[in-house]
Amino acid sequence: MHFSADKSTIKVMTVWISVFGIVLSSLISALAGLLTPWLLIISAAVGAATVFVALRYPPKYASVMKVDFDGIAVKAVTGVFIKKQLFVPMTALRTFELCSTPVQRFFGCRTVILRFAGGAVFLPLLPVKQAEELVAALEEFEESI
């Protein structure tokens, strides 16, 4: 079974990056009002960087993200700058969770958390249908054991 990100993932990431950029830019502007107007240059640079990252990063992230489940292990590839490939054998899996924030719910995304004795791994921003399919497959596998 193959799972990958779609437009909803891009939307959620764009919202988060925009919100973060706006908050940071506003804080620097407020500091500029208190200390020196030269800080407005940094504020403008942060604003420009936010627009650039919000437009470029989410599509790249979505194109890289892939999750595979073959009944033996969950394998995933994530990350744009630092690429991560993870392998979680089903025998090690203790519990799994499906969770979402209000923004994720609004755009139809879910995060799947796989928990094992040594910690947990997150498969963030999977489209709701795919996330539910993955959880159903994991559940089915657990029951078959």
Partner 1 sequence: MERPHPLYLYYDIKKWLLFLLLPVFRSIFSRQDTVSVILSSLRDVTIAACLIAYSVAKWRRARYALKGGLTFEHGLIFRRFLRVTAQDAASVEIERSPLMWLTGGRRVRINTAGLRRRADATLYLPSKAALDMTVEGVACRGRRVSSRIFPTLILSASSSNAALGFLTVAPALRQTGQILGREVTGEVYGLFNRLISLGLPPLLDAAAHVLVLGWCFAFVHTFARTAGFTTERRGQQLYLLSGLITVRKNYIDCSRITTMELRQTLFMRLFGLHTVTITAAGYGREKGARPVIIPAARPRELCSALDTLMPEYPTCPATLHPTRRALIGYTLPPLILTMGSLIPLYAGGVWHMIAAVWFLAGIWWLSVRLSGYSRAGFGVSDNAVTMRYSRGLALYEIHVPRKLADCVLIIQTPWQRRSKTCTVELRCFGEKRRRHRVRALPVEQARILAQILTSH
Binding part of the chain for partner 1, among 10-18, 45-53, 70-78, 137-145 by CB under 8 A, reads 70-78
Tell me if 72 contacts partner 1 by CB under 8 A.
yes
Q: Provide the minimum distance between the beta carbon of 93 and partner 1 in the complex, in angstroms, as a whole number.
A: 8
Gap between the Cα atoms of 127 and 122, Å rounded: 14
CA 119 to chain centre: 18
Q: Provide the minimum distance between the beta carbon of 91 and partner 1 in the complex, in angstroms, as a whole number.
A: 6
Of 91, 102, 144, 145, the residue at the interface with partner 1 (CB under 8 A) is: 91
Tell me if 71 contacts partner 1 by CB under 8 A.
no
Q: Provide the minimum distance between the beta carbon of 13 and partner 1 in the complex, in angstroms, as a whole number.
A: 20
Query: Which residues ranging from 102 to 131 are in contact with partner 1 (CB under 8 A)?
Result: 116-119, 121
**Cβ neighbours for 34, distance < 8 A, ≥ 6 positions apart:** none
Type of residue at 1 = M
Tell me if 87 contacts partner 1 by CB under 8 A.
yes
Angle CA(10)–CA(67)–CA(89) in degrees, nearest 5?
145
SS3 99: strand
Of 7, 56, 84, 105, the residue at the interface with partner 1 (CB under 8 A) is: 84
User: What is the length of the chain?
Assistant: 145
Say if residues 115 and 137 touch (Cβ distance below 8 Å). Answer: no
